[in-house]
Amino acid sequence: MNFLAHIYLSFDDKEITLGNFFADHIRGNKFGHLPIKIQKGILLHREIDTFTDSHPTVRKSSKRLHKNYSHYSRVIVDIYYDHFLAKNWSDYSEVPLDEYVENFYNLLEDNYDVLPMATKRMMPYMMADNWLLNYANLAGINNVLHGMNRRTKNKSKMNFAILDLEEHYTEFENEFTSFFEELITFSNQKFISLCED
């Protein structure tokens, strides 16, 4: 899953949210210096990724893209799924998305000192272009896909993936909806067990 999903699947625990958000910027087990709950957020992130990567519905979404994007298809699906989460946000949260996102940006700023360097470098771009809020519209997703393509030095051709999303929009949305219900249940169980340890 992509950024918005990982933040959401932290169940409003601030330290878990931080770890779950920036876990991809932490290599291996090099996080023992962080507060315990942030460490648990990193572990939760990894559990979510493992569950997601092996799920048949996610693989079905990914397979639809594989011919054009090869191993980048999984990354594209993560971005698509964040779009559907943002677009249908009111189905999952009583807090409006703009308010939720603003609260998250404030959390990052309040905890700037503990953020990995890669997260600190990314933050200004993320906030200036308001990635999380703009996931809700196709123009925002198009911008993200173009940015990802630039990061791969145009090898991924992800800038064309907006066309695949538009062509198979209903299928991707239905797959997201059925999968995300299972992911919420799984993540909540992992969250509880991690917080009990």
What does the pLDDT look like over 115-169, one tens digit per residue?
A: 999 999 999 999 999 999 999 999 999 999 999 999 999 999 999 999 999 999 9
Burial class, 122, CB count within 10 angstroms (exposed 0-12 / middle 13-18 / buried 19+) = middle
- What the block records as the tokens of 52 is 């997601």
**CB contact at 8 A, 148 and 156:** yes
Short-list 134, 129, 118, CA closest to 4: 134
Short-list 85, 69, 56, 83, CA closest to 164: 69
State the pTM of this model.
0.95
Q: Tens digits of per-residue pLDDT, 20-78?
A: 999 999 999 889 999 999 999 999 999 999 999 999 999 999 999 999 999 999 999 99
- What the block records as the tokens of 3 is 């950024």
Short-list 161, 168, 156, 120, CA closest to 143: 161
- What the block records as the tokens of 79 is 């971005």
Place of tokens 């939760």: 44
